[in-house]
Structure formats: structure tokens, C-alpha cells
Structure 1
């Protein structure tokens, strides 16, 4: 897989810019820092995406408290997001997952204006909640469900540069219908429903965003 990564504090799909760019040669040390007070965003797309004015495929936002993965469509609209909370020095837990649907996927639309949104909230004790959000209607989170096998919701904490592995989760039992994550051509699912990609053969080019005001 040939990909390109650029770093900033925040990716803005509408203005097509990396807000507060972070030089690639500083990104690793900032990622490891325990003192930064901002999220470091790894913006990843096909090699040359930025020069071609294509939207990135996904964005990984890493803060001191956890990691969020945003999966984008060709227009830059957010179609999936999954949020991990750092639990200890080695592990993080998937506590939130969201899917967005848009009537016209050819236009960029902020996720708050999605035509329909599906949200899941997970707890370490195996309980979870689910809600369908439709603009103009009242949202009902419904009942709290229990008994979910949470093993797939745990994973190693994010490692700098290993971005594509974070874009696949797998099959989350009876809580979520279908596959969670990007269905890459090389994705495999083990007997426990956990997804894997062969990122060892990835060719990653690194570039810098132009400076912003």
C-alpha cells in the first residue's frame, strides 16, 4: 500500500488545509511528549493526494488521553469515527464508534449535518448503548445492553507511524452490524473477529503541509 502522511494539529476538509502544521521531523517527539496540550493529527491519503487536491483517506488524532480515528469519503465528509481511551501505559479501549450517512456523498458535509448518524458507546464491563440520530427528531439512546465480549475493544496504545493498523477493528459481536473500519484489500479477520492488515509492506512517504496564517 502506497500512502502519504502529513502532520498538523487539525485537518480542515472544507478549507483543505492542515491547521497549525507540524513539521514531519518534529512529529515523532511531539507524539511521545507527555507535556503537549494539543492533539497531533496524522493526515493520511494516497501518495500525492495533497498536490492533487484529493481528500485524505483517514485522520488519526492522538492526544494525551486517547486516540480518535476519522474515516473520510472522497468529499472529505466523516463516514466513520472510533474513539479510544488510554487505560494504562500499554493499552487503550474503544469506548465510542460512530457512522454517518449523507444524502449526497459527492458534497462535503460536516458530520453534524449528516442525514442519519448511528452512535455506539461501550464500557469495559461489557455494557453498551446505541442511538440513531436523525436531524429534527428526538434522539433516544434506548436501553443499556449488557453481556458484550469486550476483548475486541482492547488494543495496544497507538504507536507513531503505525497509522493504517488503527483503521481496522473487526466484528464487534451483536452490538454493531457489519465490519468496523476500512475494508482494505489486504484486511483479514481472525477467529475472534479482530481485523488485521499487513502494514509491514506499506510504502509511506512523509511530507509537510504549507504554513497557515
Structure 2
């Protein structure tokens, strides 16, 4: 994937399926333990739960959250223990390029989540969220949209070593770990801010249970 040295202003919808290539090991020297299938960008409204009993119900107007959802599969290491059924801990590091009304308003939002006990061969999902307040601050308006996300990347690491990679900025997605695909490290990249939330930190925490991989420390 060839990335321009200039970051695009125009928004690009990242929803859809981007198949990971088979050249990961050639570019990292490591076995690919996490194979990313696609990354979907969507807008979710703040969930509004119905309460019963003596709890006072507080009404509010649900706001927009931007949801970044990678679909992935854990791949058993070629020369690993054949009896091993899961990967114990994998850190997913997120980088999200969020557009604003002007070039000075654009930000790269970061966040990470540690998934635990990921079953080999089973399709699963991770997720990160851009909060309503961050959307308002960066985009200058409260309405969320997939078009606000012009770039997205996820690094999966075990003990600090990259074992899975996904990156997209304007063009086709790639799993090649190169200086070009790590666009957030470029000298002209926007400022990074650690403003992404994982599912456990969001109001979506009790929803969709087994659809998402377990987050360490939440069960």
C-alpha cells in the first residue's frame, strides 16, 4: 500500500471487509498469531436501559459514539504446543485518525485493550469507542459519522512483539509493518491523544457478551 506523505482532508469510509495478506511473517519475522479480517466503523447511540425497582430513572438524550470494531481470528503458532487452545494475553493498540473542520483540528486518537484467553481458530471481535465529547471537540459538531474517521490501525502485541497488524489510511488496507503503514509515527502526523475507550470503559460494557473477546480484569 502506498501512502501519501500528506494526510488527506477528505474523509474515507472504512466500513467493509479488508482481507489481511499472507506476507506478515516476511515483514516482521514473527508468526502471525492474530489475523485481522476487517475493521468496521459505525455510529452507536448511547444505550438507554430500562430500570425497575426503587432506582430513580433519569432521562437523557442519547448521543453519538463512533465504534471501531476489528474482526479477527487467532492462529495457532506453527511450532507451538499442539495442546494449547488459547492465547492468554494480547494487547490491541488502536490508532484512529479523526478529521476536524480544519487541518489544525485533526487528531490521532489512541487507546489499548488487553484481551485474554482468545481461542485459536474462532472468529472474534475487539472494539474501541470515540466518545461524544471527543467527537464534538474535534469535529466541531455532536453528530458522529464513519466519514470522520480517515485512518485506522490496530497493532496486536504479545510481550511487546507485534503478532498481528492492520492499517488503512486513504488507500487499501495492509498487514505489512512498514514505515508507510505506521502513518501515525510520521513527522507530519497530527497530535496523538489517548482518548479512545475500550468496551469495559464505555456504557456498552454489559452488551453483546460473547460477541467480543474477553477483556483482562473485567471478569
Which TM-score bucket, shorter chain as reference? under 0.3
Which gives a bigger RCO, structure 1 or 2 (Cα 8 Å, sep 6+)?
2
Please give the TM-score of this superposition, normalised by the length of structure 2.
0.27
Q: Which of the two has higher C-alpha Rg?
A: 2
